[in-house]
Amino acid sequence: MSQRPIHFYFRGAVRQLEGAAPSRTVLQYLREDAHATGTKEGCAEGDCGACTVVLGEKVDGQLQLRAVNACIQFVPTLDGKALFTVEDLAAIGQPAGTGLLHPVQQGLVDRHASQCGFCTPGFAMSLFALYENNPHCPSRSAVCDALSGNLCRCTGYRPILDAVPAAYAQERVSLERPAVLAALDEMAALPALDYSAAGQRFIAPRSLTELAAARLAAPHARLLAGSTDVGLWVTKQLRELGDLIYVGAVPELKTIRVDEKGLCIGAGASLTDAFEALIAFAPAWAELARRFASAPVRNAGTLGGNVANGSPIGDSMPGLIALGAQIVLQQGDQTRRMPLEDFYLAYQKTALAPGEFVQAVLIPPPPAGQLFRTWKVAKREDQDISAVCGAFALTLTDGIVSRARIAFGGVAATPLRARATESFLLDKPWCAATVEAAMDVLENEYTPLSDMRASAAYRSQVTASLLRRFWLENGGAAGAPVRLADVETLA
């Protein structure tokens, strides 16, 4: 790798940038350097969506457009990508100088979907990505999911949602994709990025071999994936990160495959792609996937990053542990595997050795008859940190529990299996009496803490209640709805 400037496509041309600190955010660059002030700063932690921009990458020969939060993305991560902001929309598909708005913008205007206007650019960008990725008007629920990371504090959401069909009712316009793809190809021909500024180095290897060598050469460097957590270390904690090794340019880490050995998800696969694969593998992931952070966070964050972070409230881990997932670690040209639950040693302390990194997560094929569910319990439906996240995987043989794996997050210093409850359930009939007795075991298995999200007593009660819910959805309810959302509306 050789030293060179950061290259990215912006405003119709490939731009070069040098001198910016590697931990400078895309939002800071836009507002303070490029004077593109349509992109707003709200929370500076990826929660409000005011800073939403759209990034373009070439994936399988096609242009992939995804909304992300500019406030927690670092400028060097733009290298080799295309960047679109709210100022770009009016020029898309419109003759120069006409003053016409993009259909998404016009829809927001026509439906009176802006009041103070501060959040509107972020909404416009999330809707622009949705519009470009869907040739036909998506369902209302799909629009709500796409806007889960955008907050409006004064207008209300109905006119914003109404702006989408209004946009699709207009003559369709589209981004000139061939020009963007040509620029992406031009940048792909450049050497891998090795960038230094402000006493900090940013290395972006482009192969697994290069990453392994870079990690061995600089075991002290901070590994960076989607920066959905590390970004907050800069914007909120004002931490100095030191040198960075970026894993987002390594194609092998984004590989997802299914074979006779199960599902393998590369550590660099985005949460959006990882959850899509997990849902196809086990449909019960769907509810958690929809409620995991927001669409822009899922677009930027990675499954490997969520797992490697070691947070006790990482919502992917309980489900993965319940399904018997293994984590693949690499150091140099050597790899090793271990059960995911064994990877966590203490609060945010993992089994990673110096110079080692997470390569992939492996989920074995499910045994015949396995029942699986994973749920997140939080104060809000969207955009909230879990008070408790639970997962259950039981295998029944002639009505008897022959295999049980139960895991929870939010109730201990690490994601943790409920081994006493698992042992209690084994070789017992899957019936109401067994479940009620197992609930007593589960309620006393953990010693959770009280914090702002929930009390210890509440967490203990919820762990047991989730087991009852699992029973109701897998035999106890006899087909009756067990959630208000499942109850049909009466005519």
DSSP one-letter string for 69-95: EGGGSBGGGGTTSEEE-GGGGGGTTS-
pLDDT of residue 488: 67
**Same fold flag, 93-168 and 253-363:** no
The closest of 66, 167, 157, 174 to 120, measured between CA atoms, is 157
Can you tell me the mean pLDDT for 326-346? 97
Q: Give CA–CA dist 273/259, Å, rounded.
A: 17
pLDDT of residue 426: 98
Which residues face 193 on adjacent strands? 2, 204
pLDDT of residue 156: 83
Can you tell me the mean pLDDT for 414-442? 97
Alpha helices in 91-229 (DSSP H): 103-110, 120-133, 140-146, 158-168, 177-188, 208-217
Amino acid at 73: Q
The answer regarding whether domain 253-363 maps to CATH 3.30.465.10 reads: yes
pLDDT of residue 64: 98
Percent of the chain with pLDDT over 90: 90
Where b means 16+ CB within 10 Å and e means fewer, 16-50 reads: ebeebbbbbbbbbbbbeebebebbbbbbbebbbbb
Residue 348 confidence (pLDDT) above 90: no
Q: Give CA–CA dist 111/192, Å, rounded.
A: 46
Residue 331 confidence (pLDDT) above 60: yes
pLDDT of residue 1: 58
CATH fold label, 93-168: DNA polymerase; domain 1 (1.10.150)
pLDDT of residue 59: 97
| Sign of the dihedral defined by the CA atoms of residues 418, 421, 424, 426, in that order | negative
Q: At what angle do helices 158-168 and 103-110 cross, to 10 degrees?
A: 130
- What pLDDT digit, counting tens, does each position of 194-212 carry? 999 999 999 999 999 999 9
Show the tokens assigned to 8.
């990215």
pLDDT of residue 382: 87
* Strand extents, DSSP E, 216-279: 222-224, 244-246, 256-259, 262-266
| Sign of the dihedral defined by the CA atoms of residues 346, 348, 349, 352, in that order | positive
- Nearest 5°: CA angle at 426, between 425 and 427? 115
pLDDT of residue 475: 78
Q: What share of the chain is helix, strand, coil (3-state, %, to 5)?
A: 35, 25, 40
- What pLDDT digit, counting tens, does each position of 213-266 carry? 999 999 999 999 999 999 999 999 999 999 999 999 999 999 999 999 999 999
Backbone angles phi, psi at 62, to 5 degrees: -115, 160
Where b means 16+ CB within 10 Å and e means fewer, 433-468 reads: ebbeebbebbbebbebeeeebbeeebbbebbbbbbb
98 vs 459, which has greater pLDDT?
459
Residue 17 confidence (pLDDT) above 60: yes
Show the tokens assigned to 117.
């206007």
Residue 155 confidence (pLDDT) above 90: no
pLDDT of residue 480: 57
pLDDT of residue 487: 64
Can you tell me the mean pLDDT for 427-446? 96
pLDDT of residue 477: 60
Can you tell me the mean pLDDT for 396-411? 96
pLDDT of residue 327: 98
Residue 14 confidence (pLDDT) above 60: yes
pLDDT of residue 231: 95
The residue ranges of every structural domain in the chain are: 2-88+177-246, 93-168, 253-363, 370-476
CATH architecture of 2-88+177-246: Roll (3.10)
pLDDT of residue 383: 86
Amino acid at 188: A
Can you tell me the mean pLDDT for 124-137? 98
Can you tell me the mean pLDDT for 14-36? 97
pLDDT of residue 98: 77
For 370-476, CATH gives 3.30.390.50
**In the 8-state DSSP scheme, what is residue 227?**
-
Distance in Å from the first CA to the final CA of the chain: 66
- What pLDDT digit, counting tens, does each position of 293-306 carry? 999 999 999 999 99
**In the 8-state DSSP scheme, what is residue 378?**
-
The distance from CA 11 to its chain's CA centroid, rounded to whole angstroms, is 27
pLDDT of residue 288: 96
Can you tell me the mean pLDDT for 481-491? 61
**CA distances in angstroms from 11 to 65, 132, 311, listed in the order given:** 15, 17, 39
**CA distances in angstroms from 154 to 118, 119, 158, 383, listed in the order given:** 10, 10, 12, 18
